[in-house]
Chains A and B, each alone.
Chain A
Amino acid sequence: MTSLAWERRRGSATRFWKAYRSHRAGLYGLAGLALIALLALTAPWTVGADVQSVTNAPGTALESPSAEFPLGTDQFGRSLLGLLIWGSRISLLVGLLAAVLSVAIGTLVGVLAGHYGGWLSTVVMRITDWFLVMPALVLAIVLATVMSRSVWTVVLAIGITCWPTTARLVRAQTIAVESRPYIERATALGGGHGHVMARHVLPNVMPLVLAQTTLGISAAILTEATLAFLGLGDPTVTSWGGMLQDAREAGAVSSGHWWYLAPPGIAIALVALAFTLCGRAVESVLNPRLGVGR
């Protein structure tokens, strides 16, 4: 039985990959992500944590791009290229964690509400609706202001504000899945709530969750940059949004140091784009009716 299920899942994964491969934009996105992930993961060996040190900074303040510093230096004389590579770690980490957190909350709420229905569903969906009408950025700003400045604060602020969308989608999907006849059979055969949710509903909403996560990371990375830019990030860690904030505080915009400002923004845009492309490809594989991608 289990091996059969395993076979079936592997089969569907293969089918999924085959369909995904036909989405060129999705492949570009995947390739971009692989490259960026590689850069981020190898950063300890390529640039090292030392790149963040201010007391051992190799250059002088705000140097223009040169052979030694391909992207110039920041106001402390640190290599901007090094910081950009090092900063990818925090930006990606925050984006990933925040998206996972928000999707996890959303999935939990959505499945519970969809499965149990009744007053629980009503109450939970009221709360979800209420969160949905909250201006997400405003709420995230408030949360980031309330809590101490740290990476975890940003993760929490994004995660807590972005889950309602997922919750609604997952709930709709849960209801659709549970209306299928085999669920009724499973219940009739003595499957409890936990069994139905874990064995039948969850695997069926997983693809949707995957697509949501991928799209969510893109939004989370942008929100992280936004919060850092508004001065709500942790100033002691290097992230892309933080670099933009540093550039702005150093007056790089008006003093013409565009090479300080441009790369982090481009990096954010590229990563967000890559995740969006992947997410859309996944989405359209799962739900060709949406007609996106291609």
Chain B
Amino acid sequence: MTTASTPAGVARAEEARATDGAPRTGVASGYLRHAAGKLGGALVSLFAVLVTSFFLFRIIPGDPVKAMTHGAPTSAEQLATLRRQFGLDLPLWQQFTDYCAKALTGDLGTSFQFRAPVGDLIAAKLPATLLLTGVAVVLYSALGLWLGTRSAWRHGGLGDRVNTGLALTLWSVPSFWLGLLLIIVFSVGMGPVPGLFPTGGMESGTGETGFAYVLDVAHHLVLPVVTLVAVGYAQTLLVMRSSLLDEMGGDYLTTARAKGLKDDDVRRRHAVPNALLPTVTMVFINLGHVAAGSILVETVFSWPGLGGLFYQALSVPDLPLVQGLFVVFAGAMILANLLADLLYPLLDPRVGR
């Protein structure tokens, strides 16, 4: 969720800036050591996630077999068969060793309710989530960067106040609620507004191919993306704004201006590139959050992605699927953090070289 993720993301960026005074040694070898350390840390984290996800989800109450068969005529023999098929009749430690052995080979087990390999299910739904969140992240980062730059450059002015105010207000809105309102107004149609966009799903399923299909998907993409962007762009805006304000206090800008450079040039050539650093870092860290963050929007817009799958799997509980998704969500965060950690020193000449 973007809202919950915000303080974390900002904090990382802030902290990275706050601790940049720490002494660093070496040049290239220093970076390599830094990278190796981060990589090792990420691997440890990933392993910890694998292990915890097993135990975390074993404490979920609910008998998957009973839940799945509810409403259907089922005999005790059938229940036993299901239990055996799912490996639920084995002792916990054996389930755990099986799980670990399989996980090491990349096999995340077989989903109870879909009876298909978890890896396949996730792979099938991953593109939808990547598409939705990818488009949203690109758009809200771009929007946030642009508006943040404008705001900082004219900070304190009316434009800045409107800008920041609007962003903060949208940031405070629950994303699922905004999504529902958008559906009421732009899908169902309300008053003079006709229902312009589909109510949910990713495609009409009427057999479009080629460009028509692309357009069809794009058409379905509009409302969910608008929701994610509206709720999410404030974060980029605020970080960009504050780091640009920081930069603008720098002596070199005054010098640049004194040399007679135009405001626009000063902004474009000097201040913005430097201020981009923390923002880009934060965008990267956020990349990890959005996969899990789309749970709500996917639920509201019936988007066939991982978020919806997770929620559905949790209610059975479809243990292998829940575990697999959790590993994917956490893995995405680990990867994003790793990327941010690796990129930051490369981008910022003042850190880690």
Task: Tell me whether A and B are bound partners.
Answer: yes
How many chain B residues touch A (CB < 8 A): the figure is: 64
Q: Which of B7, B178, B180, B337 contacts A248 (CB 8 A)?
A: B180
Flag B204-215 by CB within 8 Å of A: 1 or 0 each: 000000000000
Contact of A265 among B4, B57, B171, B177 (CB under 8 A): B177
Which listed residue (B49, B171, B241) contacts A276, Cβ 8 A? Answer: B171
In the complex the two chains form, is B242's CB within 8 Å of A291's CB?
yes
Identify whether the interface residues of A are mostly helix, strand, loop, or mixed.
helix
Q: How many A-B residue pairs have CB under 8 A?
A: 166
Q: Mark A217-245, 1 if CB is under 8 A from B, else 0.
A: 01100110110011000000000010010
Query: Beta-carbon contacts of A157-187 to B below 8 Å, as 1s and 0s?
Result: 0000110110011001000000000000000
Shortest CB distance A83–B (Å): 16
Which parts of B20-50 form the interface with A (CB within 8 Å)?
41, 44-45, 48-49
User: A45 in the interface, Cβ–Cβ < 8 Å?
Assistant: no
Contact A135 B242 (CB under 8 A): no
B261 interface residue (CB < 8 Å to A): no
- Cβ–Cβ contact B246 & A289, under 8 A: yes
Select B181's contact among A130, A215, A262, A270, beta carbons within 8 Å: A262
Q: Give complex CA distance A141, B317 in Å.
A: 13
Contact between A165 and B8, CB atoms less than 8 A apart: yes
CB nearest neighbor in B for A253: B180
Q: Would you give the shortest CB distance from B17 to chain A, in whole angstroms?
A: 9
Is A121 in the interface zone, CB < 8 Å from B?
A: no
Residues in A whose Cβ lies below 8 Å from that of B255: none
Q: A276-B168, A276-B171, A289-B246 are in contact. Are A133 and B288 (CB under 8 A)?
A: yes
A97 CB to closest chain B CB, in angstroms? 16
CA distance A292 to B8 in the complex (A): 17
The 10 closest A-B pairs by CB, nearest first: A135-B292, A291-B245, A272-B172, A265-B177, A273-B172, A137-B1, A133-B333, A135-B329, A165-B11, A269-B173
B-binding residues in A (CB < 8 A): 25, 126, 129-130, 132-138, 140-142, 145-146, 161-162, 164-165, 168-169, 172, 212, 215-216, 218-219, 222-223, 225-226, 229-230, 241, 244, 248, 253-254, 256, 258, 261-262, 264-265, 268-270, 272-273, 276-277, 280, 289-292, 294
